[in-house]
Structure 1
Amino acid sequence: MSTTAAYESLCNHARETAKLASIMGLLEWDERTKMPTAAGEYRAEQISFLAGEIHKRQTTPQIAGWLDELVGSPLAADSHSVEGTVIRQLKRQYDKKTKLPQALVEELSRTSVLGQQMWVEARKADDFAKFQPLLEKTIELKRQEAAAIGYKVTPYDALLDDYEPGATTAEVAAALGGLRDALTPLVEQIVGSSRKPDSELLKRDFPVDAQEAFGKAASAAIGFDFNAGRLDTTDHPFCAGAGPHDQRITTRYNINDFSDAFFSTLHEAGHGLYEQGLPADQFGLPTGEACSLGIHESQSRMWENQVGRSRAFWEHFLPKGQQQFAALKGVSLDQLYGAINEVRPSLIRVDADEVTYNLHVLIRFELERALIENDLQAKDLPAAWNEKYQKYLGITPPNFADGVLQDVHWSAGLFGYFPTYSLGNLYAGQFYAAATKELGDLPAAFRKGEFQPLLAWLRKNIHAHGQRFSAGELALNVTGQPLSHGPWIEQMRAKYGELYGL
């Protein structure tokens, strides 16, 4: 077979596999938004079956034959070209997937679906014991996965690689440790300030239908294409793709908390913007897939925080909000800006302010490492969780629902995912600083409701590249600097220094 024919066969095979994966993605979206409760067990079987079929396709010996023809060929000479990226990344994927037994892949998928369903029940019942057996099973399966893939230092390395390809636990721990050391004194200064914004104005009556309309309008304004996506409700907000022009974003509503749904919606819309910005003609290939979850989170966190919590954003949107909500009538820009940026240690990660948010992530990173490394048993997780919250945030959860059961991730087997949230904050800080340097006064554009310049910059510098570069390479290419907490900390000091008179 010629090199050209081998490359075309490899790409066609990958595209067809992506069709199966997108079908599974749609089933998973439906399971978390629309599926009847009684359908849960069979849905687990459906997804397990599809996961097995996808794994068969990803590990077929045909791929090895095509790669043998291609790896040393001229097509692979430039590792960052479209062809070079496809060959390099599909080889990496093949080498990893072939280490995993099909039975393990299927059981992980089945347990993930059942685990998420049980998590919903346990959280509603505030009953960790109900969830514990499935959590224990999930942890054991993830340890088996790590052992099958292999690792040099810790099994957590093998799981982290699913979300931050090439990153190690030691590197991530160092990055987050540096962030923690710079962040802790800033949090202490803010919490110790005599200035206290009135966040109660966000706890008034905000009808759900009005919240949905306002959230959709804001998402559309920043560029989310609702002809190629939709917004629905769920227990835990997420973004899921079912094809190159089908992005599903979700949120959850609280009639007495405006921030809960609005910033979750904006966050997931940021994820959706990244997916909508990837080259559609490359769907199914590495050049049409996101670089890493840290980079993905940089997009959602930037639109949620650097944009959505900015004063300029609300100079544009407050008059629209006052038309939509009676509760915002008479609220000044200063009042609203202070309320949405109140810094206060809190229990719930997704509702946390942008300053203390990273402390929530650090807690989860440390706990899930301990679970995977067998330094912490699932039965002891609630006590360890409460201890960490007291240590990092000075508060103790009053129940399981607002404590150890608040996140869906571990029920879905997503060990290694949590640190990407903080990595995303750091990348967002760097990217936003670089965009500001190139584009000039971004707040001036936001005041006029002009978000396209920033989106176009992100599309050109980040979205268009797919997986051509690693997260570290992309940051270096775009900002001229490796991953650093410096720009993000500077932005926080400037913003909150003004707000809190520091």
Structure 2
Amino acid sequence: MPTPTDPRQAYLELVKELREIAVIGSIASVLSWDEQTYMPPGATDHRANQASLMARISHERFTSPRLGELIAAVEQSPLVADPQGDIAANIRETRRDYDRSTKLPASLVEEMSRVEVLSQQAWSDARKKSDYAEFRPWLDKVLHLKRQECQCVGFKDDPYDALLDQYEPGETATSVRATFEALRGPLVDLVGKIVGSGRVAPLEILQRNYPAAAQEKFAREAARAVGFNFNEGRLDTSVHPFCTHLGPGDVRMTTRYDEAYFADAFFGVLHETGHALYNQGLPKDQYGLPRGDDVSLGIHESQSRMWENLVGRSRAFWKHFMPQARAAFPQALAGVTEDAWYFAINDVRPSLIRTESDETTYNLHVLLRFELERALLRNDLSTNDLPGAWNERMEKYLGIEPPDDARGCLQDIHWSGGAIGYFPTYTLGNLYAAQFFEQARKDVGDLEGQFARGDFAPLLGWLREKIHSQGMKYTPRQLVMRITGQDLAPTALLAHLRRKAGELYGVS
């Protein structure tokens, strides 16, 4: 079939094709969600074959010569004259993805998808038994495939850049390292002052009996209150909490419940709700196109960390929710004051688990993972030596050493799923979140007063307008510059952490 000579017809055909490919991808996402929630263990091999086939079909459709011809027909036309217009953004980002994808053989994409399913199941089993040796062969397979991906995609200075760029466009290992170095010293200094302050949060409050059913009900109420639409979403349980966007009107969240520890599930739900609100706020009429997709994982993470920490751990948030919490957990919260609760949920201390760590130490967990995965990818570190290297860095950065693999190098699902290059986006998200929130305060007004009244709509409306509705119209750095008038910097995050440390620990 000849390529349409009319650029607008070419664009309409391209849109139709991209949306069909997006539907194929959403089917694969349903399979992945089911794998993490309800799939019986015995179905792992069959699910791997299903995922592999879907990955091959999607890759073949997206890398077809016809798609390349349609992109070229539009990008040479007046339809893209406005670089910030919807069509220009869709063509720019589709070209970027197309050029990357066409460098990857279908056989490699298919094999990566198959191995990732098997590897995730192996990780889940190994984590339950705290047996890294059982998972190590699968990590070797994943790394072997990711190195092949790096060679196919190409890179200038560091193979890690080839993987990082798909998650955070424009960032490199060098820029990430510089960002981390700007944070490391101030964070280590602040943690040292907090530990040396002599003040200890009443963490015991969070370690009482919190029935799972009551936790789920309370978490759902909070998610709904801040704006999550349960008519277009779900909340289920899984080994590792996550959020996935299956398409317009279908956003799935998961969490895990520990009846002896309140914070894990509740703040996990707020975190995933932040992701879900972003997904629910994307332009539905742009589904399948870059303008209907999130700009980067760092920006996505800024939304989850904002709702989890800047909102969910604020005094104002609990001014509204504390009465509901007392009703949900009358025995656990008997005699607990708002001040004690606020201190407990903002406890700062070195901990073993990244997802349970506090705002201040969290980035040190991310730094550790960035360094190790980069070393693994570059063959500077053997998978055989990973547990020792992990424990050594935990001692160096946080002053504690994991007692077993489950609380050490097996705690995260990311590497088993091939998500190497993903971890830095968490710290970038923290930086973006603090900078966005600081600007929202200026633009929206008394956020704390609104939260105390249970009114979260003004903040959500601001995020919808400034971030969610924009899709991939701008790059991450362009977006933060447009919203705040400044480039990404650690200033806002460090100021936020120091303010809270001063309030609770008397240090800054």
Give the TM-score normalised by structure 1: 0.99
Partners of 1:419 and 1:166 in 2: how far apart?
Answer: 13
Secondary structure class of the residue paired with 1:232? strand
TM-superposed deviation, 1:182 = 2.2
1:320 corresponds to which residue?
A: 324
C-alpha displacement of 1:297: 0.2
Query: What is the aligned partner in structure 1 of residue 410 from structure 2?
Result: 405
Question: 1:360-395 CA deviation, whole Å, 9 max, x = no partner?
Answer: 000000000101111001111000000000000000
Alignment match, 2:227: 223
CA distance in 2, matches of 1:303, 1:64: 40
Equivalents in 2 of 1:149, 1:109: separation in Å? 17
2:242 aligns with one of 223, 238, 242: 238
Deviation string for 1:331-385 (max 9, x for gaps)? Answer: 1000000000000000000000111011000000000010111100111100000
CA distance in 1, matches of 2:62, 2:296: 20
In the aligned structure 1, how far is the partner of 2:314 from the partner of 2:16? 44
Separation in structure 2 between the aligned mates of residue 474 and residue 358 of structure 1, nearest angstrom = 22
CA distance in 1, matches of 2:186, 2:292: 36
User: Which whole-Å deviations, capped at 9, do the CAs of 1:175-198 have from their partners, x for residues lacking one?
Assistant: 121111221211111111121111
Match of 1:171 among 175, 186, 195: 175
Residue in structure 2 matched with residue 70 of structure 1 by the alignment: 74
Q: Is the counterpart of residue 455 in structure 1 residue 460 in structure 2? A: yes
Distance 1:252 1:486 in 2: 33
Q: Distance in 2 between matches of 1:231 and 1:192?
A: 40
Distance 1:78 1:178 in 2: 36
Aligned position for 1:491? 496
Q: Which residue number in structure 2 is paired with residue 59 of structure 1?
A: 63
- Alignment partners' CA distance in 2, 1:194 and 1:397: 24
* One-letter amino acid of the counterpart of residue 27, structure 1: L
CA distance in 1, matches of 2:84, 2:64: 25
The CA distance in 2 between the partners of 1:48 and 1:165, in whole Å, is 26
Distance (whole Å) between structure 1 residues aligned to residue 121 and residue 273 of structure 2? 25
Task: Give me the identity figure in percent.
Answer: 54
**Structure 1: stretches of 5+ with no match in the other structure:** none
Within 5 Å, give how 1:96-495 maps onto structure 2.
96-325=100-329, 326-495=331-500
Say which SS state the counterpart of residue 236 (structure 1) adopts: coil
The one-letter code matched in structure 2 to 1:403 is: G
3-state secondary structure, aligned to 1:402: coil
Work out whether residues 274 and 296 of structure 1, in 8 Å CA contact, stay in contact via their aligned partners in 2.
yes
Q: Distance in 1 between matches of 2:116 and 2:477?
A: 30
Q: Is the 8 A contact 1:99 1:148 kept in 2?
A: yes
Amino acid at match of 2:318: W
The 3-state SS of whatever aligns with 2:406 is coil
Alpha-carbon separation, structure 1, partners of 2:320 and 2:273: 18
SS of match in other structure, 2:253: strand
**Partners of 2:290 and 2:17 in 1: CA distance:** 13
Moved more, 472-481 or 182-191: 182-191
Q: Distance in 1 between matches of 2:89 and 2:368?
A: 35
> SS at 1:161's partner residue?
helix
Report the residue type matching 1:277 in the other structure.
G
In 1, Cα distance between equivalents of 2:25 and 2:334: 47
Give 1:149 deviation, angstroms. 0.1
Secondary structure at 1:432 match in 2: helix
Aligned-residue offset at 1:329: 2.2
Question: Could you tell me how far 1:78 is from its partner in structure 2?
Answer: 1.7
Letter in 1 for 2:352: L
Deviation at 1:77, TM superposition (A): 1.6
The CA deviation string for residues 452-490 of structure 1, in whole angstroms up to 9 with x for no partner, is 000000000000110010100000000000010100110
Matched residue type, 2:495:
E
1:26, 1:241 within 8 Å by CA — same for their partners in 2? no
Mapped to 2, the partners of 1:175 and 1:157 lie a distance apart of 15
Aligned to 1:49: 53
Instruction: Give the SS at the match of 1:328.
Output: coil
Deviation at 1:296, TM superposition (A): 0.2
Residue 200 (structure 1) shift: 0.6
How many pairs were matched up? 502
Q: Distance in 1 between the 2:308 and 2:265 partners? A: 12
Query: What is the CA-CA distance between 1:277 and the residue it aligns to?
Result: 0.5
Q: How far did 1:169 drift?
A: 1.2
Deviations 1:255-279 (A, max 9, x none): 0000010010110010000000000
* Structure 1 residue 94 corresponds to structure 2 residue 98: yes
Instruction: Determine helix, strand or coil for the equivalent of 1:415.
Output: coil
Offset at residue 79 of structure 1 (A) = 2.0
Q: TM-score, normalised by structure 2?
A: 0.98
Q: Deviations over 1:306-340 (max 9, x none)?
A: 00000111111111000000201221000000000
